[in-house]
Structure 1
Amino acid sequence: MVRIFVYEPLSADDPETTAALGRGSPAHQEMLAAGRAMRDAIVHDLARIPGVAATLAVGEQEAGHPWPQVSTASALPGEGAVDFVRRQSPLHDLCWVVAPETDGLLLGLHEAVGEARWIGCSPAAIRLASSKRATCAALAAAGVRTPLAFVAKHDGPWIVKPDDGAGTMETRLHLSRGNAELDLQRRRRAGRTPVMEPFVAGEPLSLALVVGPDLAQALAFNRQHLELDAAGWLHDLGVQAAAIPAADPRAAALHALASRVAAAIPGLRGYVGIDLVWNEREGPVVIEVNPRVTCAYAGLSALLQRNLAADILAAHARDPAPEVAADVAA
């Protein structure tokens, strides 16, 4: 039996992550719901793999609630995410963590687990993808189109956002470059690390990938629903998983893009998300790479009629344990 610990900080009631969003705030409620949806989808998939026993990290409100075929574990009073995961890791064969890159959280959790038990990307890949600036630079160097390609001749709106932000958090559109530069300077004076880039017009999409040592397979092309408010702040209204059919004329370019991104960032493993804009003139323009499970995972196994967790375990394993290799091969 292979024991897998599944951890998502907000649903596990991590005090620091919750406090950063403001307990009970709209941002907290929105991200908590998203975290639970991703967590539950992973656990549901794992529970259907013979020979796998999942342990789910839960918060105080869920502690004691029955989860069919799944064990639960909760943090000690006041115990933070890294300490909790470090305590649980030796009790399991593998750990599957869903957490944002913001403030180094995902990287810190990787360090707590260690490479041998970690399901997901390498520390180097997480570190690179945690910086939007570094990600775009690496992709551009590999010939992948990013907003950097629009800088020289751009005369439209500009985007200012955190370099390590998750989703659309603190992302603002400015109609003029001057206003964007003022926003950039204000954030820097406040001790933040923002980035400023051209706003690329087009349809917001995302790719869901399974990446292994010898493959980068795009599982689904998703449509992202974004909203711009009167003050220019961008809001994430959710994702429509597998919204773009395989017969879409853009599919070949999107499959090729998945392979090029995986080649440009060594160490991507397991589930990886790519956020992009399909521009009518330029085609796909990559905005960022998520080295972790994204919201598109929730419900994707049912839509694709396949167990994504089994695919990810099989693709991720470099030298899989005999039990895992046998269980996920069926």
Structure 2
Amino acid sequence: MENSLRRVLVCEYVTGGALCNGPLPTDLMDEANAMVAALVGDLVALDGIHVTLCWDNRLAPPPFLPDRVALCPVAPGEDHETRWRDAAALCDVVWPIAPESDGLLGHVAALFRGTGRPVVACAPDAITLASSKTATAARLVEHGIAAIPTVPFGAPPPPAARHVVKPDDGAGCLDTFIVNDIAAWRPPHTGRWIVQPLVEGVACSLSMLVDDDGGVRLLGCNRQRVERGTDSFSFHGVEVGAMEHRRAAWEPLARAIAAAIPGLRGYVAVDLIDRPADPELNGPVVVEVNPRLSVGYSGLSRVLGWNPAGEILALFNTTSADLGREAAHV
């Protein structure tokens, strides 16, 4: 890949030092490590690419650390955003990974855009929309895309024998509850809660690459390992490529989602429930759109047989990158 971008700053929120002055969330650590390992591994496999990795120095050094990766440690007591900005100033492009919860993904992307470096991220409006499950469902339905009916908690719930309640900007299965009596249920803490019907089917995800013009390349058709308990779900990873037999049905869905949400760009993940055996329901229903790298990226290059990081980076390449800056890194 011909690329004027030489040093890439990878900044994953959980492992990158954002929580340096508080406890680390053990329930998110495995997914965070998997995404970092996959992305860094793909980046250093590209010719001429060096990586700076933001890293909470309370964590053990990553075992996958190769020669072309330098750590930017963030220690307790430090201002992580200052450390991140300083690291970005020495790099040619920034690739942030953060959850949408509490506007974190939008905030981190804006922080790095403020450094003047190209940022591998969707447009701000697309991030804002996709960070709300209510807004996302409404937008998709407006464009004729099947999405789970979603209403704010307290509004009349969608008809269903059982319901799912979760934060409007939640990540994964965290704080996601299965409720038999929605009228009697109360949130465990404050926030913007939503109610959806419990939809039967196979928990899946698709990984897609969206270019500047909204063109879509479907990268992966995946099955999620989600277990349903009595009153909650638990997430146990993604089987990348396990749903390739559904590619023909999912390709038009991926294109439709990109058309419905302008500003999606680069790697985008979509969680869905697949229902191929039910002719009345007719196929997949979208759960949420993740405008960022997801755990489904882990193992993607192995399944594809080629490295998607190069094509993603190329979408954010700029001729204004200072090629002379590389000499200062050696």
Residue pair 1:15, 1:80 contacting (<8 A) in 2 also: no
What does residue range 132-151 of structure 1 map to in structure 2 within 5 Å?
132-148=133-149
Q: Could you tell me which residue of structure 2 aligns to residue 57 of structure 1? A: 54
Alignment of 1:75-94 (within 5 A): 75-94=74-93
The normalised TM-score by structure 1 is 0.85
Within 1, Cα distance between the matches of 2:85 and 2:321?
25
Query: Given that residues 134 and 150 in structure 2 are in contact (C-alpha distance below 8 angstroms), is that contact kept between their aligned partners in structure 1?
Result: no
> Deviations 1:15-70 (Å, cap 9, x if unpaired)?
26x84xx54xxxx3231121111011111111011122111112213459853211
**Does the alignment pair 1:251 with 2:286?**
no
Tell me the percent identity.
33
Relative to its length, the structure with more helix (as a share) is: 1
Deviations 1:261-314 (A, max 9, x none): 011111111111000001223311000000111111111101111111012112
For 2:158 and 2:263, locate their aligned partners in 1 and report how far apart those are by CA, in whole Å: 34
| Paired AA for residue 18 in structure 2 | D
Q: Deviations over 1:221-243 (max 9, x none)?
A: 0001111223x111111110011
TM alignment of 1:6-85, pairs within 5 A: 6-15=10-19, 19=22, 22-23=23-24, 28-60=25-57, 61-62=59-60, 67-85=66-84
Taking the TM superposition and a 5 Å limit, the aligned residue runs for 1:1-330 are 2-15=6-19, 19=22, 22-23=23-24, 28-60=25-57, 61-62=59-60, 67-114=66-113, 116-148=117-149, 154-175=159-180, 179-183=181-185, 185-186=186-187, 190-214=189-213, 215-230=215-230, 232-245=231-244, 248=245, 250-279=246-275, 280=278, 281-314=281-314, 316-317=315-316, 319=318
String of CA shifts for 1:161-181, please: whole Å, max 9, x gaps.
Answer: 001110010001113xxx224
Change (3 A) 1:110 1:276: same
> How far 1:76 sits from its partner (Å)?
4.5
Question: Aligned-pair RMSD on alpha carbons?
Answer: 2.5
Letter of the structure 2 residue corresponding to residue 4 of structure 1 = V
- In the alignment, the residues of structure 2 paired with residue 276 and residue 256 of structure 1 have an alpha-carbon distance, to the nearest angstrom, of 14
Instruction: Give the aligned partner of residue 328 of structure 2.
Output: none
Shift of 1:212: 1.0
SS in 1 for 2:172: coil
Residue identity in the other structure for 2:256: R
Q: CA separation in 1, counterparts of 2:257 and 2:47?
A: 33
Return the letter of the residue paired with 2:182: A
What amino acid is aligned across from residue 132 of structure 2 in structure 1? Answer: S
Count of residues in correspondence between the two structures: 306
Regions of 4+ moved over 4 Å: 63-66, 149-153, 318-324
Identify unmatched segments of 5+ residues in structure 2.
324-330
The runs of 5 or more residues in structure 1 that have no matched partner are 325-330
Which whole-Å CA distance do the structure 2 matches of 1:181 and 1:310 have between them? 50
Given residue 288 of structure 1, which amino acid in structure 2 is its aligned partner? Answer: E
Aligned partners of 1:93 and 1:54: how far apart in 2? 10
2:157 and 2:195 in contact (8 A); partners too: no
Q: Match of 1:328?
A: none
Is the CA contact 2:267–2:291 (under 8 Å) kept in the aligned structure 1?
yes
Whether the 8 Å contact between 2:187 and 2:193 is mirrored in structure 1 is no
Compare 135-144 and 49-58 and name the one that shifted more.
Answer: 49-58
SS of match in other structure, 1:283: coil
- Structure 1 window deviating more from structure 2 (97-106 vs 145-154): it is 145-154
Alignment match, 1:327:
none
Note the C-alpha offset of 1:104. Answer: 1.2
